[in-house]
Amino acid sequence: MKHLIALFTVAFLIGCSSSTSPVDDGLENQIFHFGNGSEPQGIDPHIVTGVPEHHILISLCEGLTIPNAFGDGNLPGAAESWQISEDGKEYIFNLRKNGKWSNGDELTAEDFVWSWKRILTASLGSQYPDMLYYLVGASEYHTGLIDDFNRVGIKAIDKYTLKVTLKAPTPFFIGMLSHYSTWPVHKETVLKHGSIDDRNGEWTRPGNFVCNGAFNLKSWELNNRIVVEKNPNYWDSSSVRLNQIHYYPVSNVMTEDRMFRAGQLHVTSTLPSQKCPIYIEENNPDLRIDPYMGTYFYRLNTNNPVLKDVRVRKALAYAIDRKLLVEKVTKCGQIPAYSFTPPGSNGYQPDTVIPFDPDLAKELLNDAGYSDDNLFPKLEILFNTNEDHRKVALAIQQMWQQNLGITVELVNQDWKVYLSREMVGDFQVSRAGWIGDYEDPNTFLDLMRPNRGNNKTGWENADYDSLVAKANSTNNQEERYRLLNEAEKILIDNMPIIPLYTYVRNYQLSSDVKGYNPHILDHHHPKFIYLERE
Amino acid sequence: MISIFIKRLLLAIPVLLAVASLTFFLVKLAPGGPFDADKAVSPQVLKNLNEAYNLNASEWEQYVAYMSGILQGDFGPSFRFPGRSVSEMIATGLPVTFELAFYAILIALLIGVSSGVLAALKRNTYLDFIPMAIAMIGICVPTFLMGPLLVLIFGINLEILPVSGWGQLPGDKILPSITLGFAYAAYIARLSRGGMLEVLNQDFIRTARAKGLTEKNVVIKHAMQGGLIPVVSFLGPAIAGLLAGSFVVETIFQIPGLGRFYVEAAFNRDYTMILGTTIFFSAMIVFFNLLSDLAAMWLNPRSRDTS
């Protein structure tokens, strides 16, 4: 027993001995400590979905283009340049002659052809094949209508030239290429550890993993840490100043906050919502509130007997004081939303209006036949269990009760139960959020077209559908935005969804970190990031 | 004793099979599936995914395939983490959870037994009241409060210990071990005090004292052997509880143990992972209960004789 006590005391004293924090140590060795939310599903760009996965993949692999760290649009990535045909349907990508895989192999146009074939191989079960559905023959190949991949609109003209043919001019196509689902994978490595459609191949393990990004996978301790280190074979390795990035899957936001405060992280994935107003008041220099292309909204089930009446839907929307919601409830820089697409998405400015007008709302409800004699039935707001969603729902409940006299019940469900209820339409009002996949209003407006899996409201409108389709077949950006704006007006006029606020990215960032510039999609290419103390 | 051990081990097999079968059908009853996501996948993709994981087969076929898999030691692939097998994930998280549980139980025993025995010996004095009051606090304060509180004091204010991690920074194992151990120390303190008080009043202790044995010998050689039987009986379920219930501490301190996999698997409807961890933890509970029963039997001469 005495020995054990002595042992423990020694261990304790060793533990308490002073040591430099990871942030200080990182500054010296250019090691970036990154709070990454949750354990990534994996790092196969054709299989995974999610933000933590993206954060890691952006350092390991590179698409034809990369997000611009200094503004809108995209910069050349694996392709050093590209030409677009007059009709906007044909893209010629000129790959870099010095493009290499992390094992030193040459990166060729054929690698992209094979990689895109892999995403479109149905048996792989990729969840993002629709990102390539804009290519001629892609959806047909994926759904088995054709089985000859040569009929899909991607060809390697020579070693360094890639030709992509689209069904229609798709002005946001270049932007989509910085999404990880379109990035290349190393054919020989994938096939060494499995077949083209093997989801469980071990090619993504440290030691096996090969890709073409600025960093290479060094180690992966499950639920603990992923370490990537500078890839000397990256075409632009001389620009990369970080030596390593350590990704920590910290799912508990309070733990992450404490880790940041104790100097164990340079950047957090998010912020405890209750702390945000305090940090704002304290003028915390590490607090960052960046614009983010995302909308928090409520879905209304238009198949519901009560909510199928557009007047009811509008009444509900007009009875919400969005300004009050962001100032008194969310309190972290969120912006009241009066359109589905966040304003300013790649220059797009929707001019829709959603007034806060309780009198008009009441009148609309009366017109719909609800009065003191015929009371509005009890309404249910469905949301997944989360304190922030509850707070918003409570505020909306209060507003509807006060402004419309409606009794509202809040129903919170476990995440998967909530998803399945939404999917089968077993809800009246359901909370939702949408983050853009690429910098274009289409990433929002496409959602509400008929037969889209994420519409979930049961709403369809032929005019809306044809306007969005027409917008996507024109090559004139001004005309396109005008058409999309028209579509957005129809959407807001029909109100199958009630936009509440535009998201912001709130997180903490050490002042040592440079080059981590605000980006509307929260994409931060690591080659622009470095550590320096002023 | 050996025959009891073998009998109980054999009895564990149908118990575990029943756990596996029940869990298999219960997880399927829960609404939502492993591939439901915020960004809904198309029916075509869902069909492909279900095919890839044999979810298109009938429940019965899936059950037979799964059970024959586990009988060969294969818990199947994780649905949530493509490319990872459940066995591999258990093997990764288990050493960490075991290590955490070991330190916690060590702390619990050191603090619990010493303060419990002391309290019993100095009954109705401050040496009894103070440790027992602290023990009561330990029982009442949940780990999700104790953990952040310790972090705030030692990690952020005093800056002498890391606030999270496991084996990455010097001293990062101290706070989680204390947090997890403290609650159990409180139980052990109260159990050992109660057990000791009962034994100290018995005739054989009076006899030992009458024979002129030193108080130290009376307590250590005679009283503690019987007085700590309740503690030993408590240890089996406690260790099993520590292993299966370390989720909160693992989350607060960012520890890559099995508890996090277990709970997150349930949220993610990662069927194979839920099944694998449930079967594994059930086996642990059965095993540690058996061990503690055997230890208690060995300590108690009466039951040792009857066995």
Task: Residue B252: list chain A partners with CB under 8 A.
Answer: 252, 254-255
N- to C-terminal Cα separation, chain B: 6
Q: Tell me which residue of B259, B233, B252, B266 sits closest to B99, measured CA to CA.
A: B259
* Nearest chain A alpha carbon to B82: A200
Average per-residue pLDDT for chain A: 92
Q: For residues B168 and B201, is the Cβ–Cβ distance under 8 A?
A: no
> In angstroms, rounded to a whole number, what is the distance separating the alpha carbons of residues A294 and A7?
53
Q: If you average pLDDT over residues A512-531, what whole number do you get?
A: 94
Question: Which range, A490-504, B1-15, B81-95, is most confident?
Answer: A490-504
Comparing CB atoms, the residue among B31, B155, B160 nearest residue A417 is B31
Residue A379 backbone zone (phi > 0: left; psi -120 to 50: alpha; other: beta): beta
Confidence of residue A19 (pLDDT cuts 50, 70, 90): low
Task: Residue B249: list chain A partners with CB under 8 A.
Answer: none
B143, B159, B163, best to mutate vs chain A, most A CBs in 10 Å: B163
Confidence of residue B39 (pLDDT cuts 50, 70, 90): confident
Q: For residues B80 and B262, is the Cβ–Cβ distance under 8 A?
A: no
DSSP readout, A279-300?
HHHTT-TTEEEEEEEEEEEEEE
Q: Which of A311-320, A476-485, B243-252, B261-270 has the lowest average pLDDT?
A: B243-252
B102-152: per-residue pLDDT in tens? Answer: 999 999 999 999 889 889 888 888 888 888 888 888 788 888 899 999 999
Comparing CB atoms, the residue among A12, A22, A129 nearest residue B174 is A12
What's the gap in Å between the CA of B304 and the closest CA on chain A? 26
A198-231: per-residue pLDDT in tens? Answer: 888 899 999 999 999 999 999 999 989 999 999 9
Confidence of residue A249 (pLDDT cuts 50, 70, 90): very high
Read off φ and ψ for residue A332, nearest 5 degrees.
-140, 45
Confidence at residue B306, expressed as pLDDT on a 0 to 100 scale: 56
Say yes or no for a CB contact (<8 Å) between B45 and A127: yes
Say yes or no for a CB contact (<8 Å) between B164 and A258: yes
Say yes or no for a CB contact (<8 Å) between B81 and A39: yes
Q: Which two tokens stand for residue A162?
A: 């890639």
A288-302: per-residue pLDDT in tens? Answer: 999 999 999 999 999
**With 90 as the cut, is the pLDDT of residue A266 above it?**
yes
More confident residue, B299 or B59: B59
Q: Where are the beta strands (DSSP E) in A57-188?
A: 65-67, 74-76, 79-84, 90-95, 154-158, 161-165
Confidence at residue B301, expressed as pLDDT on a 0 to 100 scale: 67
Confidence at residue B305, expressed as pLDDT on a 0 to 100 scale: 57
> In angstroms, rounded to a whole number, what is the distance separating the alpha carbons of residues A326 and A331?
5
Confidence at residue A458, expressed as pLDDT on a 0 to 100 scale: 93
Is the four-CA dihedral A155, A161, A162, A165 of positive or negative sign? negative
Confidence of residue A367 (pLDDT cuts 50, 70, 90): very high
> In angstroms, rounded to a whole number, what is the distance separating the alpha carbons of residues A423 and B31?
11
Average per-residue pLDDT for chain B: 86
Confidence of residue A71 (pLDDT cuts 50, 70, 90): confident
Q: How far is CA A354 from CA A165, A399, A435, in A?
A: 40, 15, 21
Residue A91 bridge partners (DSSP)? A84, A164
Q: Which two tokens stand for residue B217?
A: 């010998």
Say yes or no for a CB contact (<8 Å) between A420 and B77: no
Say yes or no for a CB contact (<8 Å) between A264 and B36: no
Task: Residue B77: list chain A partners with CB under 8 A.
Answer: 200
CA dihedral A396, A397, A400, A403 (to 10 degrees): -90
**With 50 as the cut, is the pLDDT of residue A18 above it?**
no
Confidence at residue A127, expressed as pLDDT on a 0 to 100 scale: 85
Task: Residue B260: list chain A partners with CB under 8 A.
Answer: 223, 251
Say yes or no for a CB contact (<8 Å) between B164 and A15: no
Residue A465 backbone zone (phi > 0: left; psi -120 to 50: alpha; other: beta): alpha
**With 80 as the cut, is the pLDDT of residue A244 above it?**
yes
**With 80 as the cut, is the pLDDT of residue A428 above it?**
yes
Q: Tell me which residue of B146, B100, B145 sits closest to B242, measured CA to CA.
A: B100
Helix (H) or strand (E) holding A323: helix A322-324
> In angstroms, rounded to a whole number, what is the distance separating the alpha carbons of residues A96 and A231?
17
What's the gap in Å between the CA of A15 and the closest CA on chain B? 4
> In angstroms, rounded to a whole number, what is the distance separating the alpha carbons of residues A346 and A468?
17
Residue A163 bridge partners (DSSP)? A92, A155
B18-35: per-residue pLDDT in tens? Answer: 999 999 999 888 888 888
Q: Which of A210-219, A327-336, A474-483 has the lowest average pLDDT?
A: A474-483
Q: Which of A15-19, A80-84, A275-279, B155-159 has the lowest average pLDDT?
A: A15-19
Q: If you average pLDDT over residues A70-80, what whole number do you get?
A: 89
Task: Residue B162: list chain A partners with CB under 8 A.
Answer: 262, 264
Confidence of residue A13 (pLDDT cuts 50, 70, 90): very low
What's the gap in Å between the CA of B7 and the closest CA on chain A? 34
Confidence of residue A16 (pLDDT cuts 50, 70, 90): very low
Comparing CB atoms, the residue among B40, B166, B251 nearest residue A423 is B40
Residue A76 bridge partners (DSSP)? A65
pTM attached to this predicted model: 0.89
> Residue A217: CB partners within 8 Å, gap ≥ 6?
A43, A60, A204, A206, A209, A226, A227, A228
A252, A411, A418, A431, best to mutate vs chain B, most B CBs in 10 Å: A252
Confidence of residue B224 (pLDDT cuts 50, 70, 90): confident
Confidence at residue A303, expressed as pLDDT on a 0 to 100 scale: 95
Tell the residue number behind the tokens 């469905």, with chain if given.
A382
Residue A514 bridge partners (DSSP)? A530
Alpha helices in A348-431 (DSSP H): 358-367, 387-404, 415-423
Q: How many Å separate Cα B305 from the centre of its chain?
A: 30
Residue A229 bridge partners (DSSP)? A216, A244
Q: Judge whether A13 is closer than 8 Å to chain B, CB to CB.
A: no
Confidence of residue A148 (pLDDT cuts 50, 70, 90): very high
Confidence at residue A484, expressed as pLDDT on a 0 to 100 scale: 96
Q: For residues A425 and A301, is the Cβ–Cβ distance under 8 A?
A: yes
Q: For residues B154 and B167, is the Cβ–Cβ distance under 8 A?
A: no
Say yes or no for a CB contact (<8 Å) between A204 and B41: no
Confidence at residue B21, expressed as pLDDT on a 0 to 100 scale: 93
> In angstroms, rounded to a whole number, what is the distance separating the alpha carbons of residues B2 and B304?
12
Comparing CB atoms, the residue among A17, A44, A423 nearest residue B82 is A44
The angle that helices A358-367 and A387-404 make with each other, rounded to 10 degrees, is 70
Comparing CB atoms, the residue among A11, A14, A122 nearest residue B48 is A122
Say yes or no for a CB contact (<8 Å) between A416 and B93: no
What's the gap in Å between the CA of B260 and the closest CA on chain A? 8
Q: How many Å separate Cα A484 from the centre of its chain?
A: 21
* Nearest chain B alpha carbon to A456: B40
Comparing CB atoms, the residue among A143, A199, A423 nearest residue B82 is A199
More confident residue, A128 or A285: A285
Comparing CB atoms, the residue among B42, B83, B156 nearest residue A262 is B156
In three-state secondary structure terms, B150 is helix
Say yes or no for a CB contact (<8 Å) between B37 and A127: yes
**Vertex A340, ends A338 and A341: CA angle to 5°?**
105
Say yes or no for a CB contact (<8 Å) between B38 and A419: yes
Task: Residue B82: list chain A partners with CB under 8 A.
Answer: 41-42, 44, 47-48, 199-200
> In angstroms, rounded to a whole number, what is the distance separating the alpha carbons of residues B199 and A200?
59
Confidence at residue A42, expressed as pLDDT on a 0 to 100 scale: 92
Confidence at residue B221, expressed as pLDDT on a 0 to 100 scale: 81
> Residue B195: CB partners within 8 Å, gap ≥ 6?
B116, B226, B227, B228, B229, B230, B231
**Interface size between A and B, measured as CB pairs under 8 A:** 166
Read off φ and ψ for residue A276, nearest 5 degrees.
-55, -50
Confidence of residue A17 (pLDDT cuts 50, 70, 90): very low
What's the gap in Å between the CA of B281 and the closest CA on chain A? 19
> Residue B26: CB partners within 8 Å, gap ≥ 6?
none
